[in-house]
Structures are given as C-alpha cells and as structure tokens.
Chains A and B, each alone.
Chain A
C-alpha cells in the first residue's frame, strides 16, 4: 500500500503565542515549528499499516515555508517514513486551509497514493478542513474523526471507527481514500538517535505550489488575539464540605448561569 501522510508544521506546545505587530496573525518570529498532535498520530498509524502490509511505503508531505517544513519532514524520516516532499510556500497564505490543500494536491498527485492520512485537525488552527478539501480535489472519499483504522486484506477494504454524536460508527471503504485521524496513541514511537542523525542528511524532494488563482474566494487573517488573562479562580470560602457544595451550586445557578 502506498501511504501519503500530510504533516503541518505547527508551533511547539511551549510557544508563548504573540500577535504580529499589526495584530493580524501569529508572529512566527522565534517560534519553533514542529510535528505535533494528530499529525504525529497519523505518522504512527502509517507506520503501523506499513508493518502490517508487506511492500508498503510511507511518503511524508508538508506544505509551508522551507524552514518550517524541513523540521517536520526530518522528524518524519527519523521516525521511519520512506520519502519526504516539501511544497514550498512563502507562508503568507498560512491559515487558509483551502490554499494548503491546493498546495498538497500538487505533491500528492505526483506520487502513488492509495491512502492519504492526515490529522483530523491541525494543532494550531484546528480547522479540520484540509482532509475534506484535499479529498474533493482528488475526487476521493474522505473521513475525519477516525479511530481504530485497519486494512482488511481479504475484503480489500479499510475498516475504521468514527466518533459521531449518535455514538461510535464503524465504516468500510475501498481504496483510494483520505482519512483524517483522531486516534491518539499515548506512546507513539520516538525516533532513535542514529535515525535522527541519519535523517539530517536525507534528501527532501521539493515541489512548487500552484500559483494562487485570483478568482478564488480567500480566507484572510484579520486579527489574532489572546484572551484576557484569566485572573485566577474565585476561591470559595467554606467551613464544611456541605457549605462548599451549596455555595458552588448557587454560583453556577445565579452567577455563571450554567446549572442544568
């Protein structure tokens, strides 16, 4: 099975978020962009499938400015992905998931792809738009919010679960298919030092994104704001647990208005 994993460079979890001087978007100055969250899970899932299906290959693809994509692609190679492809952009379109899908399309179309794996949502913008957008461009079915993915070789079908409001659904789909993964492994594999060292010299293929079409409807960042710092909790003073309970219930009813 030829598996493509799409990996978005996102700010490291420890990043102190700061708006750019004009307030329109995140200031990327000094931010470390890494492979994180559901995309890490997508890599883990791709490698598990490769181990289960003989002759499989995993191709990592990332769209963004080279200094950001390089970091995640080298991490993906160190974890065991077979090839890495960067779609280079200036970063100005950042945050427009449809533009990201257009960029990824060029790379994915140019490589074998039975299964395209993504995170169900990126760790930064949390849009969850790219899996569906890319699938529509490729003319392939897609599913987001997927867990417990496996390949049924006898039936030649992917089988997976999907969390929906009504409960956990189970689905089957033939290939090719696009999957947005919600699965989280608490212990995805970590790269070994020799693999990390080797990944530093690994080749990264480069693809140019399509020129943005002027008539395309655009999503333009206008303002990036940090919520006013929570001033810390209002502490409930009490003498007995019963009194604490009464006070909290009263507050939830009368002040916060969230009591059912």
Chain B
C-alpha cells in the first residue's frame, strides 16, 4: 500500500503553527516513497501559509478560497477537508495537536466517514489499517487501537513528535475542491482573543515545561518562588487545588482531575503531596521532578527525580543555578 496523507494546516498569524509542522514531520515518516502528502489551509492567510508547506518537503497543497471562512470557526472548513481528502485518495487526515485540531477531528471523521483518534503518541500502518497508541486515564494506562476501513482521522498529542526537518522544496498551491458549507457553521463569531500576556510564559495545557506549587508554599506571596523558577525555565506555572481553593492563584492554573490535564516534557512539583486527583492531571508528563520535605510523600512514587528538602532553600538555589547555566 502507498499511503496518502492530507495534512490540515492550522494558520497562526499567516504561518503554519508548530502543531502543523509536527504533523508534517509525522506525515513524511509515515508515507512511503510513492505516497502522496498534500496540505490544506483555510481561513485568513490560507494561500500564504499553504506555500510554507514547501519548507517541510511537501510539494502540494490546497488553499481554500472562501472568504466566508475568515473569522469563522475552523469547523466551517470541515466539508472542504472531507472533499480534499477524497480528491487526493487519502488514507489518513492528519491534524496538529492543538485545540482546533483536536476539536476538528470528530467532525471531519463523520463528514469523511472515517475512524478517528485524538492525542496520538505513536502511529504505524498495519496493512490497510492504522495502528495508533495513546495515553488514557490521565496517563495511568495506554491503549492501542486499529483504525480500520482505509480512512483514518488523527490528531497528535502536543510535543510527542519533533517538528518536521526544514527541506526547502517548492509547494504548488491549488484551489481546494469546492464544497458546500452549512450556513449554521458560519454563524458563530469570535468576539475577542485575550492573548497570553508576554512574559507570563506559555499556556499551561501546551507548555513543554510546567512548574507547579502546592500548599507547601504556605502563602500567596511565597508563590512568587514558583513563578521565578518557572520563568527561569521559560515554563508555565501550575498549582494544586489546595492553592487555587485558597485563592492564592486563579483556578485556571489548577492541575488535576477538576483542573487542567498537562503532559509536558518536564513537570516540577514543589510542595505538592501527590494526591491521586492531582496525579491524574500530570502523570503522563515525560519527566517528573518532585521537591518536598516529606520523604514519604506520594509524589515521590510517580516522580523520576526527587529532592527531599525545604522548598524555601532548594527553590531559590535552583532558580539561581538555572540562571547561571542558561546565562540569564
């Protein structure tokens, strides 16, 4: 079989977003020498972004020429994506691991009559089927599934794959095949974006590094220590529920069962005991570091590296050491 892949671009200020570039890398490693890889981009700046696929060795892309999509939710592209997938004889529609990508997968699967999986960390062909693997139960287990029937729609887990290597080829951009967009999908309107303020670090759910603080920090003022450590690493700040319940920091920072699920490359838990409700939100992190003055704290059972000690001594020393090593 020579698998054909359609990559759905997410356009961010006229450029391909990082999740899309990760998807391009996966497509290139999955598709054999004879397989076709085609990109598709829609919405404002689509044509310019589609050309950019060439930088990742993808020589063909569709741009959706439909001004109604500017400012409309990404889901309004569903019918175009399904039509393009059929036109290229795709076996796989690949979406980046972003909010929009995950949100689009179920829709595209129904429109294109495909099987679907979100948040995939491994994928490989098994004959006509696609075998996908993904963490479930907050990282407490993994499942492998076969997506059968020759049509699969998959979004990737953020940071699970490296970005595609840069390989400057020229991408021929064509107009995407026509499709009819249900008017209901054009009705919702975005009324604003509150951009993540500069200097506050990346968004929690997508950050490659997260530093979280717990009740051990003791006061809202002391929580600054956690924020300084995070800043030294360019990391996002998280918190346990003890912290958000006490109002030391907003609930939007809460990690766990009733907060956010995160799966960064590195998670540093400071003054957090490791209650199961916290663990389910961060256990699928690749490397976990715990700093706690109680050697019997449960967090050390899931951590890869532990420091038993007083956070008020360890954290400032760590922040200083990171500044020194990174030369900042």
List residues of A whose CB falls within 8 A of some B CB: 11, 13-14, 17, 25-26, 37, 41, 95-98, 101, 123-137, 139-145, 159, 162-174, 177, 180, 184-186, 215-227, 230, 232-236, 238, 240-242, 244-246, 248-249, 251-253, 256, 258-260
Contact = CB atoms under 8 A, between A and B. Distances in A.
A133 B116 contact: yes
B305 interface: yes
Nearest to A220: B146
21 contacts: A17-B137, A37-B258, A98-B110, A98-B115, A124-B137, A125-B136, A131-B106, A165-B99, A173-B188, A180-B103, A217-B113, A217-B151, A217-B152, A225-B142, A230-B301, A230-B302, A245-B321, A248-B307, A256-B266, A260-B234, A260-B326
A231 B10 CA distance: 39
A132 B107 contact: yes
Given A132-B106, A227-B142, A233-B288, 5 more contacts: A129-B117, A217-B149, A219-B146, A240-B317, A260-B209
Given A217-B150, A242-B317, A260 B233 contact: yes
A126 B136 contact: yes
B70 interface: no
Given A129-B116, A171-B190, A186-B244, A256 B304 contact: yes
B216 to A, nearest CB: 15
A100 B326 CA distance: 49
The residue among B17, B103, B277 with the most chain A CB atoms within 10 A of its own CB is B103
Size class of the contact patch on chain B: 35 or more
Contacts of A145: 99, 103
B258 A167 contact: no
Contacts of A245: 314, 317-318, 320-322
Contacts of A95: 143, 145
A162 B99 CA distance: 9
A126 B115 contact: no
A259 B30 CA distance: 29
Given A217-B151, A256-B305, A172 B189 contact: yes
B146 to A, nearest CB: 5
A145 B74 CA distance: 14
B287 interface: yes
B163 interface: no
B73 interface: yes
A230 to B, nearest CB: 5
Nearest to B111: A136
A245 to B, nearest CB: 4
**6 nearest CB pairs, A to B:** A217-B149, A132-B106, A233-B306, A133-B106, A173-B188, A129-B106
B203 interface: yes
Interface stretch (B38-46, B50-58, B167-175, B192-200): B192-200
A141 B184 contact: yes
Interface in B290-306: 290, 295, 300-306
B314 A241 contact: yes
Interface in B128-178: 131, 135-152
B185 interface: yes
Interface string B186-216: 0111111111100000010110110000000
Given A164-B99, A217-B151, A223-B144, A139 B184 contact: yes
Contacts of A37: 257-258
A258 to B, nearest CB: 4
Contact of B305 (A98, A135, A234): A234
A143 B300 contact: no
Contacts of B73: 141, 143, 171
Given A143-B73, A248-B318, A98 B116 contact: yes
A132 B304 contact: no
